[in-house]
Amino acid sequence: MPSTIVILGTGGTIAGTASDPSDNVGYTAAQRSVGDLLAAVPMLAGRPIEAEQVAQLDSKDMDHATWQRLAQRTAHHLSRADVAGVVVTHGTDTLEETAWLLHRVLAPSKPVVLTAAMRPATALSADGPQNLLDAVTVAQMRGARGVVTVVAGNVHGPADVRKVHPYRTDAFSSGDAGPLARVEEGHLRQHRDWPDGPAMGLGRLAVDPAEWPWVEVVTSHAGARGGGIDALVAAGVRGLVVACTGNGTVHHAVDAALQRATHAGVLVWRCTRCAGGVLVGDPALLSPAAAMSPWQARVEMMLGLMGEPPAGG
């Protein structure tokens, strides 16, 4: 039975350092290696674990090239007969976007567990070591599968996870759905099934990251103007995700600009800018992004556009 857990490091706050151990916000992210993070959790010593540094960045600066490399390395290790699962250490800022990308591209039958921290590794009460231990626990759990996020003892599915607080250690939520499971003193209490679904396939990311379709998120708000949307269309944007007010409403100036964008061949999806809930109404009129966050929708649209020629091309 496979038993090896591979930990792929990408940087983030979990690998960050500060000169003052009492400073939980004035730190520099992505300073410690994934090997250092592993060494800080004595309970993992002696277990069949491998560590690999895929990237070393602050996740606010996550880019398509790193996503491509991470997906490729994750798929490589999942294909090994001796590997039970993969853990990815990541920054919190774009964690939910990476989780959705890996879920949609790989939809793995083995567990891929993303974990992170809200405090740097040098903090007096760093949350990274416990989160890493919990992530490995989930990755080693018999029957576990799919892409999940483990932070603050909660296991979140890729469709539901959202960062909902800028500072607290319990900064992630699954909203109305609630977490898939909880890790309690090394034991898993499961509430819902593991994530599943068809995989788009790693080949979707094979193109040069510089050539990935350009998709932007735009918002509607009081006093909104359509000029920014017109400028994006003129610059060659392929798709627009609109973070709408309420249940999919947009300012009239934004609506007019979106109609012009659509006529120019730009794909337009709507979702809500509200932190919770989904768009409701006539299913025939709803966007494919109705139940997604704007950030997930951007990833979904970009993946969908890959391999399709630009309008008029």
One domain, residues 57 and 107: yes
The pLDDT tens digits of the residues spanning 225-277 come to 999 999 999 999 999 999 999 999 999 999 999 999 999 999 999 999 999 99
- Averaged confidence pLDDT in the chain: 96
- What is the rounded distance in angstroms from the CA atom of residue 66 to the CA atom of residue 10? 9
Per-residue pLDDT tens digits for 183-238: 999 999 999 999 999 999 999 999 999 999 999 999 999 999 999 999 999 999 99
Domain containing 72: what range?
4-190
- Residue 313 pLDDT > 80: no
Give the tens place of pLDDT for each residue, 71-94. 999 999 999 999 999 999 999 999
The region of weakest confidence among 23-27, 220-224, 303-307, 309-313 is 309-313
**Would you place residue 282 in the very low, low, confident or very high pLDDT band (cuts 50, 70, 90)?**
confident
pLDDT of 308 higher than 70: no
Q: Within this chain, do residues 181 and 247 fall inside the same structural domain, yes or no?
A: no
Same domain, yes or no, for 89 and 50? yes
Active site residues: 13
Quick: pLDDT tens for 35-66.
999 999 999 999 999 999 999 999 999 999 99
Is residue 202 one of the residues assigned to a domain? no
Give pLDDT, residue 311.
46
Q: 150 with 258, same domain?
A: no
Question: How far is the C-alpha of 176 from the C-alpha of 33, rounded, in Å?
Answer: 36
The answer to whether residue 145 is domain-embedded is: yes
- Whether residues 44 and 153 share a domain: the answer is yes
Tokens of 231: 């400028």
For the chain, how many structural domains are there in total?
Answer: 2
How far apart CA 135 and CA 114 sit, in angstroms, is 7
Within a domain: 197: no
Q: Are 92 and 148 members of one domain?
A: yes
pLDDT in tens, 115-154: 999 999 999 999 999 999 999 999 999 999 999 999 999 9
CA distance 13 to 60: 11
The whole-angstrom separation of Cα 101 and Cα 299 is: 6
Domain harbouring 282, CATH code: 3.40.50.40
